[in-house]
């Protein structure tokens, strides 16, 4: 018989996991609670199982609780659940925040607590149903909860990574650099192209091949071998011209170009950029003194 699972905060992530586990029969979705009844009804309809509830108090008991609410709400949800966990040491409670450790759920002990962070973008739940398999899930927390979650995510064909609770913030920052900041970089690129008179759709079209190729190169060869462009070549004159052009266009673009350029210099140094050229680039890219 399947274990029962309650979901608090069944947004894109919660809906995706809930539906996949329900379809596999690993968990039987029991109760779903969102900020509004309408949202809970929509989540129940997407998952195809469970009872929509207007409050945590209205949710039935379950073998396992997934808190998929935003980071700022997890502590409050844990506080609401804590009185219900008294003497229920067989219950597992976990959240899916990348930034927070399982310790935020400590009020719910003696229930076994953990966190499980899928390294996956859940922007489109329908797509995630098909693409989650193969993604890595970072787990940390108490062993009874970890053991259950290992089985739960293995059933979804996910790769597993166990991390130290004290390193959770650093782990998540690494994910932010590679995912969220990559998206911000794309926006900076599109804004720069716009300043050059190139429309957004045309810019996306011309960027797609090189962006995908660059991502593939980084995965295959690592950043040092994948870095190309003027800084990798030590082309100081090109960097100077680009800075001058950006300075006449947008202050934020100029500032980001400088900071990212300095990071590229350090990367290029590890791939044999001559010291004198590196120092010249650092001087050029450093913020001018006021």
Q: Where are the domains of the chain?
A: 3-167, 178-285
CATH homologous superfamily for the domain 3-167: NAD(P)-binding Rossmann-like Domain (3.40.50.720)
> Is pTM, for the whole model, over 0.85?
no
The CATH number that domain 178-285 falls under is: 1.10.1040
State percent of the chain over pLDDT 70: 98
pLDDT at 140: 97
Q: Check if the beta carbon of residue 84 is closer than 8 Å to that of residue 54.
A: no
For tokens 């009872």, name the residue: 51
* Nearest partner of 65 among 35, 43, 85, judged by Cα: 85
Q: Check if the beta carbon of residue 10 is closer than 8 Å to that of residue 31.
A: no
Q: Which of 67-71, 155-159, 203-207, 270-274 has the lowest mean pLDDT?
A: 270-274
Question: Which residues, including other chains, have CB under 8 Å from residue 111's CB and lie 6 or more apart?
Answer: 65, 85, 88, 89, 91, 92, 93
Pairwise CA distance, residues 15 & 20, whole Å? 9
SS3 of 233, please?
helix
CA distances to 72, 125, 246 from 156, in Å? 28, 15, 46
Pairwise CA distance, residues 164 & 24, whole Å? 30
pLDDT at 68: 97
């Amino acid at each position: 018989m399947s274990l029962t699972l309650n979901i608090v905060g069944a947004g894109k992530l919660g809906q995706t996991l809930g539906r996949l586990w329900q379809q596999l029969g690993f968990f039987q979705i029991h109760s779903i609670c969102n900020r509004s009844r309408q949202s809970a009804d929509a989540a129940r309809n997407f998952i195809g199982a469970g009872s929509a509830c207007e409050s945590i108090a209205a949710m039935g008991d379950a073998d396992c609780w997934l808190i998929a609410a935003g980071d700022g709400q997890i502590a409050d949800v844990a506080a609401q659940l804590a009185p219900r966990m008294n003497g229920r040491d067989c219950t597992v409670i976990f959240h899916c925040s990348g930034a927070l450790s399982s310790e935020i759920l400590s009020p719910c002990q003696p229930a076994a607590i953990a966190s499980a962070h899928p390294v996956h973008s859940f922007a489109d739940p329908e797509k995630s149903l098909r693409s989650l398999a193969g993604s890595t899930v970072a787990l940390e927390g108490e062993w009874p909860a970890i053991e259950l979650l290992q089985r739960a995510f293995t059933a979804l064909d996910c790769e597993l990574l166990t991390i130290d609770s004290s390193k959770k913030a650093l782990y998540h920052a690494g994910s932010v650099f590679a995912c969220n900041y990559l998206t911000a970089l794309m926006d900076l690129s599109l804004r720069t192209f716009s300043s050059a008179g190139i429309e957004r759709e045309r810019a996306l079209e011309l960027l797609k091949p090189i962006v995908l190729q660059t991502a593939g190169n980084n995965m295959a060869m690592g950043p040092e071998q994948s870095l190309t462009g003027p800084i990798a070549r030590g082309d100081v004159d090109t960097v100077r011209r680009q800075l001058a052009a950006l300075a006449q266009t947008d202050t934020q673009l100029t500032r980001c170009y400088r900071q990212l350029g300095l990071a590229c210099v350090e990367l290029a140094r590890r791939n044999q950029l001559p010291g004198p050229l590196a120092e010249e680039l650092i001087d050029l890219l450093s913020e001018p003194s006021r």
